[in-house]
Structure 1
Amino acid sequence: MREVRNIAVDPGEDGVRLDRWFRRRWPHVSQIQIQKMARSGQIRVDGSRAKPEQRVSAGETIRVPPLPEAPQAGDPKPELDRRDVMFVKSLVIYEDDEVLVLNKPAGLAVQGGTKTLMHVDRLLSAWGEGLERPRLVHRLDRDTSGVLVLGKSPGAAAKLSGSFARRRAEKTYWALVMGNPKPSEGVMELHLVKKGIGDREMVVPADPKDPNGDPAETEFVTVSRAAHRVAWMALRPHTGRTHQLRAHMLAMGHPILGDPKYKTEESAQLSGGLKLQLHARRLTLPHPSRGTLVLEAPISKELKEGFKRFGFDEHEAEPEPFKRRRRS
């Protein structure tokens, strides 16, 4: 596509992230290309500069700049081998005609990049291409394990994305953090902003007046303690900022153990070789066409190692620890 186009957002796309809006229409355009076009102002929403992660609304007009041509049908395409298919199918914890749910392992990226060849988005070819290919509706950090939901049709994906955009999806993460947060439960409200470039980019606290900062809110409850050294936390993000939980816990003075980026010298020493102790344990959200989905991912081998080291038992936790907080 070599010309600029202005396209209205369809009602079925209301609430979808801008980058996903692009990827659904032009799957051959990479995430990095979308980010570059947004940063340079080539992508605009109703005439204004836009961020790839912002949500679009039905009726808004998106400026689409000239895009690279899609590969021809005869161009070579990396195929999944039998082991790849068996691997991604082994991650399934729920599937029906509209929804696919995976227990994403730590270390597996959700989407690809210049140096990332193995990722969830590529593995989705195991279900087919075109309309048969499941669609991502939210993301997890590469090093975070747990519940990852996908839509198996454009309509289902749009409705699931809308649930996340309207905060109708209740996410519960488990994390092991340094020390014992006081108070033991509450809500962390702290604006966040991205700083740095490439591998050095981090999300850090921002002044509420900073135009580049975004409001971020995390609810937290202490599930159990290992003396004064470590706390097992249930975390619920009310907003969906990049690295939100990791940045918020560091700002609280209780960084998540095993975090290679959001850490202190003390937390790195206490981690003692553990991988990131963060797991998307539970997700509750409306099904695209019927009832409510309650999804739970078995804990990862990385979190099991942390539980074993500090003496936690996963059966200690209530399925919904935040209900206890609201009753008190």
Structure 2
Amino acid sequence: MIEEYQDEIEDNDIEYIDSGDSAPDLYEHFRVVADKGQTLIRVDKFLHDRIPNVSRNRIQNAADSGFVHVDGVPVKSNYRIKPDQVVTIMMNRPPYNNDIIPEDIPLDIVYEDDCLMVINKPAGMVVHPGHGNYTGTLVNAIAWHLKSNPYYDANDPHVGLVHRIDKDTSGLLVVAKMPGAKTNLGLQFFNKTTRRLYRALVWGNVEVDEGTIIGNLARDPNNRMQMKVFDDPFVGKYAVTHYRVLERFGYVTFVECRLETGRTHQIRAHMRHIGHTLFNDARYGGDEILRGTHFSKYKQFVNNCFDICPRQALHALTLGFEHPLTGEDLDFTTQLPQDMTQLLEKWRNYISNREIE
């Protein structure tokens, strides 16, 4: 019988711990007691059968990291459970309340009606509460904005955000205020009928004016915080990104990306795969000088650019979909945020001065 279940095991929750005396305190997130008639079974399968929405691979990673305990002792994923044994998930952070708390955070609302709203998210705002970011998120802000709406429950998964963008990516998101609207919009994203354009500054001179990147995406086994393109069609999720060049600055290129699919880090991983990492994308190495000269003057210029736009230079510029109730085609566009506008102008001035010299 499950006695307590307060959190799911997420990939970014798992941090490898030292097994020595300096190991940090661990906190119980899940507990289950094996039945008296329990037959011998591997602990990873035992837990996979009892924890909803968590893959067996995640449980195995948790066990290898020392987070799966039996009768208070860490065990590996191949340990076989016996009758009456107590199995716990012990994490190196306290459990938290999953309830979304409304917070009075300003929202840039591009469009709103009784069915949905479109929000322009600033860079630096986390979309959904998670490890290390339990407050101050876009979801908390939406909960405050809709706190008087009797049809909206921030803790109901049948309403709310239909899709996500990364913390340090700015731009447009759609929120469903009714369960039917979320189902309808979710199907539009699934069927690839939505229209999404992004603008990005990438390292290097993108030689062709336009192109398409096709490559399955999955987590990099050598760095679980990154996504990687795999040639094996049975690994990862199918992903397609179309791009075209908008402006060239020699060492960097301003591009437009159209998403055919919407995978985690899709543009970031795809552009890196073809040798054009997003400018100042720290997760994928874009916060290093990847193109240009070794002169100190140039290095100082690039560092100044990093200061102007202290995040990956990526903006969700447009979003289009069919209204769930009326069937009307809706298309929304935002301006580039100030940090990216200033970044582009700085590169224009740099190239202009070089041509004069």
Bin for the TM-score computed over the shorter chain? 0.5 to 0.7
Q: Which residue of 2 aligns with 1:259?
A: 281
CA 1:79–1:223: 2 relative to 1, 3 Å: same
Matched, 1:156 2:197: no
Q: Which residue of 2 aligns with 1:243?
A: 265
Q: Which residue of 2 aligns with 1:297?
A: 334
Structure 1: distance between partners of 2:248 and 2:12: 41
Q: Which residue of 2 aligns with 1:202?
A: 226
Residue type of the partner of 1:105? P
Structure 2: distance between partners of 1:154 and 1:207: 38
Structure 2: distance between partners of 1:288 and 1:232: 34
Q: Which moved more, 1:258-267 or 1:113-122?
A: 258-267
Equivalent of 1:123 in 141, 145, 150: 141
- Structure holding more helix per residue: 1
Q: Which residue of 1 aligns with 2:242?
A: 219
Equivalent of 1:310 in 337, 342, 347: 347
SS in 1 for 2:253: strand
Structure 1: distance between partners of 2:192 and 2:100: 36
Residue type of the partner of 1:112? P
Equivalent of 1:41 in 16, 34, 48: 48
Q: Could you state the TM-score of these two structures normalised by the residue count of structure 2?
A: 0.63
Structure 1: distance between partners of 2:186 and 2:57: 18
SS in 1 for 2:284: coil
Matched, 1:233 2:251: no
Q: Which residue of 2 aligns with 1:146?
A: 171
Q: Which residue of 2 aligns with 1:272?
A: 306
SS in 1 for 2:200: strand
Question: Cα deviations across residues 209-235 of structure 1 (Å, max 9, x unaligned)?
Answer: 4x4322211000111122x12211010
Identify unmatched segments of 5+ residues in structure 2. Answer: 14-29, 31-43, 59-96, 154-158, 292-298, 350-357
- Is the 2:242–2:260 contact (alpha carbons within 8 Å) kept by the matching residues of 1? yes
CA 1:94–1:29: 2 relative to 1, 3 Å: farther
Q: Which residue of 2 aligns with 1:183?
A: 208
Matched, 1:112 2:129: yes
Structure 1 residue 298, shift from structure 2 partner? 2.3
- Is the 2:196–2:316 contact (alpha carbons within 8 Å) kept by the matching residues of 1? yes
The alignment covers a number of residue pairs equal to: 255
Residue type of the partner of 1:214? K
**Counterparts of residues 62-77 of structure 1 (less than 5 Å):** none
Residue type of the partner of 1:234? E
- Is the 1:101–1:148 contact (alpha carbons within 8 Å) kept by the matching residues of 2? yes
CA 1:276–1:196: 2 relative to 1, 3 Å: same
Q: Could you state the TM-score of these two structures normalised by the residue count of structure 1?
A: 0.68
- Is the 2:11–2:224 contact (alpha carbons within 8 Å) kept by the matching residues of 1? no
Structure 1: distance between partners of 2:100 and 2:219: 33
SS in 2 for 1:100: strand
SS in 1 for 2:290: helix
SS in 2 for 1:266: coil
Residue type of the partner of 1:221? R
Question: Cα deviations across residues 98-145 of structure 1 (Å, max 9, x unaligned)?
Answer: 111110000111111121021111222120276324511000011100
Question: Cα deviations across residues 40-95 of structure 1 (Å, max 9, x unaligned)?
Answer: 634679xx9799xxxxxxxxxxxxxxxxxxxxxxx9x78545xx24x12xx10100
Residue type of the partner of 2:125? L
Q: Which residue of 2 aligns with 1:101?
A: 118
Structure 1 residue 277, shift from structure 2 partner? 0.6
Residue type of the partner of 2:318? R
Structure 2: distance between partners of 1:157 and 1:255: 33
Q: Which moved more, 1:187-196 or 1:279-288?
A: 187-196
- Is the 1:44–1:50 contact (alpha carbons within 8 Å) kept by the matching residues of 2? no
- Is the 1:222–1:232 contact (alpha carbons within 8 Å) kept by the matching residues of 2? yes
Identify unmatched segments of 5+ residues in structure 1. Answer: 4-27, 52-74, 313-328
Q: Which has the higher contact order (CA 8 A, sep 6+)?
A: 1
Q: CA RMSD in A?
A: 3.5
Matched, 1:132 2:132: no
- Is the 2:100–2:140 contact (alpha carbons within 8 Å) kept by the matching residues of 1? no
Q: Greater CA radius of gyration, 1 or 2? A: 2
